[in-house]
Structure 1
C-alpha cells in the first residue's frame, strides 16, 4: 500500500480476498482502509483522524455532542455487478443502489459535461463496529462501462485515487440545541482548524448539512474533510456558513404552517398509495395524462397532487412535465423491496381518524382509538379481518430493520427460539435463516398466526417452525427454548400489563435463558428520534401503550426476574435490548 496514496490500513481480514473480486486493486484498498476506519473508530477517534492536530480536549468536546455516522469515498468499478461482487467478499450489508445528486454534479463540472448525462450511484453498506454499533461505509459509484469515450475520465479517476476529493467522514449532532450547535461549529472552525466547504438544508429529511475541509492530509494519509448533519433547519448558522445573509425573516410562521399542514401530507401520500400511481410510474408511464387514464382519475387534479408531492420530495418533475419517482417515492410502490405502501394506507386510514380525538386522550386519558371506533385496537382488528390484514401488512412494511436483528445476537449455541406474539413470523424467519441449526416456535393468537405459514414458507423456514396458538396474558408461553423474542410488544401496553407478559415468559424458563426485546427507546437528548412521535402514536392508538427509555425497560425487566445486559442500535431508531433470566 503506497503511503502517498493510501491511509495506513489497520489490517482488515478481507485484504486477502480482493483479488478477482471485481474491483480495481487501488479502489479495493481504499475501500478496505475506509472500512477498517469505520469499524474501529469511536467519534473521538474519527475526529482525531480528520481534524488537524488540535489537542485531546478539543476532540473529546466534539465527541460528547456528536456521533460518528459513516465514512464515504468514490470508486470506479467496471459495472454494477463488479462492485456487488466485491462487496460480497466483505462482511457488510449493502442496500439498493440510489442516485447521488451532489457528487454527480461535482463530477460533471470536473468532466465539463451536462450533469444529466452522468449517473453516480450511492451504496450504503452497513457493518458492525468494534464498539458493537452499526455504522455505514458510503460508496459513491461511477461505473466505467457506462462512461466509455468520455473525455477526461482517466484523468479524473487517477486524480481521485491520488487525492480522494470525494472522501469524507460524517458526524451527526445528537441534539439540535442552538447553543450546542454554535459551540460545535465554533470549535470546528476555530481550534479545529476547519473551513466551511458548502452545505444546505434538506427539507425532506428536515436536516441541515454542513461540510468542512482543511488543507493537507492527516498523518495517516486521510483527507481532512468532514460532514456534520444537524436535526432541523438552522438558517442563521447555515447562511453564515455559506457566506450569505439569511433571507427567511418569515421562517417561524412558515415552520408553524408546515406543522399545521402535516395532515395534508399524510392524506396526499395515502391517496397516492391507494391510487397505485407509484406502480404505474415504475411501469414506465410518466405523464399525468397517461397516469390519469391508468388510475381512473381526473387528470388536472392528479397533476396538482403530484406537483404537491414533488415539492415534498416524493417525485421529480422534468421541464417537459413528466414525472419520476425519487427513492422516497419508490417506497410507495407495492412490489418494491422495503415498500411502505400498506403503512401509508394504514396511517391515512384508521390511525389517521383516531388522531382526531388526540385532545380527548390528553384530557381524559382514554384511548383516542377507543373513542373513535368504540373498541380497543386489538379487539377492533379481531372483528374486522380486512382491517386486520392491512394492519399486519402495514406493521410488516415498517419492519425493514428486522433484518439487522440477527447480527445483534449470539446465535452460535441457540437450538430453539420462541417468538412471543411473533405475528406472521418475519422476525423468527430472519433468526432461523441466520441460525440454520435451530428450530423456531411462533406463539400468537389464532387469528394472527393464520398469515404465518405463507411468510415462513416464502423465507424457507416453514419446515423448522412450529405454530402454537395462545394469548400471552392467559396461556403458558412455550418453554424449553434457549432464546425468546419479544418484538414491538411491550410498547403496546401499560406497566402492569407488561409485568404480566414478562412474568408469564419468566415462569416457563430457567436462569440464564436469554430474552431479546426489540423496541424503539426514547433517547435522553436526540430530538430527531422517531421515538417521540411514535410515543404519541402509542398514546392515541393503544390502551396504555407508550415508548419507554432504556432505564424504564430495565426496571420492567428487573421486576420480572430479568437483567438487562446490553443494548444494540438498529435502523429507524430501533434497538435490541438483550436480557437474561436470573
Structure 2
C-alpha cells in the first residue's frame, strides 16, 4: 500500500479497483486481492461494488499528512533493508552484519543506488520532524550562539533551529556529496546569510569554534570506538564554554518496552557496531571524551536530547 501510493490516490474519495489500478500502475486482479486484505486490516473499507475508500487509520499512509508513516514503511521494504532483516538470524550467529557483507556500509550502498538514497532521505526527513520540532521548542539555546550541525544532512534540523532562534548562526558539516543539498535547503529557507556549509570527515576533524555541536542520529551508527573518535574531535573543536547535544533514541536501563529496542534490531541488522544506547551508556561514552552529561530533554516519539559540557 505504501509503495504503490494507494492512500494518496484515495485521499479525495473512493475509487473502484480498476481506476485505482490504472492510477498506481498495478494489475487490477492482483490489486483487488491486496485491497481485500487491507480492508481486513482496517486501512481501507469497501465503498460500493468493487470500490474502496480510505479509513482514518489508512490516512497515516498518505504522503502529505503530519506524522505520515509512508516513507518509513517504504524504507523497510527497500531491497537492502528487507534483506538485512531477513538475514538477522545469520547476523546474530556470526556477530557481523549480513547486510554489510552483501552491500557494504549503508551510506556507500545509498550513494551507489540513487533510488534507495532518495527513499532514505525522505524517510530521514519525515522521521526528523517530531524530533526537530521538539528540539526547537523544548531546548533553551544560547541567544547568539553558533551551532555546528555535525553530519547535518540536507539541513532541515539546522533550518528549524535557526528559524526558532533568529540571532543564532549555523554551520552544517557533512560529506562532500551531501552538502550541495544542504546549501539548497538553507538558501530556500532564506538562511544562506546566517549559515555556512562545510564538507569533511568527522573522523578527521570538525569545524572549530562553535558554541553548540549537534550530533543528531549520528552516534548510534557507530560502535563505541568510532563514536569516541567523533566525540573527541568535537571536544577538541568546541569553545571552552560550549556544549554538545546528542539527539538519539535513549533506551531505558531496564526491561520495559521501548521503541528504541525495535530500532536496535534494525541497527544490529544493518551496521557492524551500530547500536542504540541507554542514558547510562551515553553518560559513560561522553565521560571518556572528557564531557559530562548535564541534562536530558525528552523530545517525544521516543527521542531524547542529551546535553553534555566539558569537564
Which position in structure 2 is the counterpart of 1:244?
A: none
1:499 matched residue in structure 2: 228
User: Which structure would you say has the larger RCO, counting Cα contacts within 8 Å and 6 or more residues apart?
Assistant: 2
Deviations 1:294-339 (A, max 9, x none): 2232333212212322333423334666433334422333333443
1:467 maps onto 2:200 in alignment: no
| Equivalences for residues 132-143 of structure 1 within 5 A | none
Classify the secondary structure of the residue corresponding to 1:473: coil
Are 2:266 and 1:537 equivalent residues in the alignment? yes
User: What are the superposed Cα offsets for residues 38-59 of structure 1, whole Å, 9 maximum, x if unpaired?
Assistant: xxxxxxxxxxxxxxxxxxxxxx
* Aligned mates of 1:455, 1:310 — CA distance in 2: 39
**Quick check: 1:317 aligned with 2:49?**
no
Output the CA distance in 1 between the equivalents of 2:67 and 2:178: 22
Matched, 1:358 2:88: yes
Over 3 Å counting, the alpha-carbon distance change for 1:528 and 1:300 in structure 2 is: farther
Counterpart pick for 1:483 among 189, 206, 212: 212
Q: What corresponds to 1:434 in structure 2?
A: 164
Deviation track 1:447-481 (CA, whole Å, cap 9, x = no partner) reads 1222213332343333321110011002x211222
Conserved? CA contact 1:355–1:368, under 8 Å: no
CA distance in 2 between counterparts of 1:284 and 1:298 reads 21
Report the CA distance between 1:425 and its aligned residue: 0.8
Is residue 377–residue 542 contact of structure 1 (8 Å, CA) maintained in 2? yes
- Using a 3 Å threshold, how does the CA distance of structure 1 residues 316 and 379 change in structure 2: closer, same or farther? same
Does 2:184 match 1:454? Answer: yes
What is the CA-CA distance between 1:382 and the residue it aligns to? 2.7
- Residues 303 and 554 of structure 1, relative CA distance in 2, 3 Å threshold: same
Shift of 1:383: 2.7
Tell me if structure 1 keeps the 8 A contact 2:215–2:245: yes
- Cα distance per residue 1:12-33 (max 9 Å; x no partner): xxxxxxxxxxxxxxxxxxxxxx
- Measure the CA separation in 1 of the matches of 2:45 and 2:310: 52
The answer as to whether partners of 1:414 and 1:482 remain within 8 angstroms in 2 is no
Which residue in 2 is equivalent to 1:553? 282
Q: 1:386 to 1:285 in 2, by over 3 A?
A: same
Counterpart for residue 565 of structure 1: 294
What secondary structure sits across from 2:172 in the alignment? strand
Describe the SS at the equivalent of 2:176: coil
**Match for residue 121 of structure 2?**
392
Cα distance, 1:493 vs. partner?
0.4
- Cα displacement (A) at 1:569: 1.2
Q: Structure 1: give runs of 5+ residues left out of the alignment.
A: 1-271
- In the alignment, is the contact (CA less than 8 A) between 1:565 and 1:578 conserved in 2? yes
Once residues 306 and 526 of structure 1 are traced to their aligned partners in structure 2, the CA distance between those partners, rounded to angstroms, is 38
Query: How far apart, CA to CA, are the structure 2 residues paired with 1:328 and 1:467?
Result: 40
Q: Which of 409, 432, 447 is the aligned partner of 2:139?
A: 409
Does the CA-based 8 Å contact 1:510-1:581 persist in structure 2?
Answer: no
Deviation at 1:412, TM superposition (A): 4.1
Retained in 1: the 8 A contact 2:211–2:239? no
Q: Which has the larger radius of gyration?
A: 1
Helix, strand or coil at the partner of 2:3: helix
Secondary structure of the equivalent of 2:152?
coil
Instruction: Tell me how far apart the structure 1 counterparts of residues 121 and 184 of structure 2 sit (CA, whole Å).
Output: 13
Cα 1:524/1:324, change in 2 over 3 Å: farther
What is the CA–CA distance in structure 1 between the aligned matches of 2:59 and 2:22, rounded to whole Å? 20
Distance in 2, matches of 1:403 and 1:305, equals 36
What's the secondary structure of 2:20's corresponding residue? helix
How many pairs does the alignment contain?
309
TM-aligned CA distance change 1:364 to 1:569, over 3 Å: same
CA separation of 1:285 and 1:461: change in aligned 2, threshold 3 A: farther
Q: Does the 8 Å CA contact 1:404/1:570 hold for their aligned counterparts?
A: yes
Using a 3 Å threshold, how does the CA distance of structure 1 residues 532 and 394 change in structure 2: closer, same or farther?
same
2:252 to 523, 527, 538: 523
Could you say what the CA RMSD is over the residues aligned between the two structures, in angstroms?
Answer: 2.0
Query: Structure 2 CA distance, aligned partners of 1:364 and 1:311?
Result: 39
Secondary structure at the aligned position of 1:398 is classed as: helix
Matched, 1:297 2:26: yes
Q: Which of the residues 76, 83, 105 maps onto 1:376?
A: 105
Q: Structure 2: which 5+ runs fail to align?
A: none
What's the counterpart of residue 17 of structure 2? 288
Structure 2 vs 1, CA of residues 459 and 312 (structure 1 numbering), >3 Å: closer, same or farther? farther
- TM-fit CA distance, 1:397: 1.8
CA distance in 1: counterparts of 2:35 and 2:255, whole angstroms? 33
Alignment of 1:213-224 (within 5 A): none
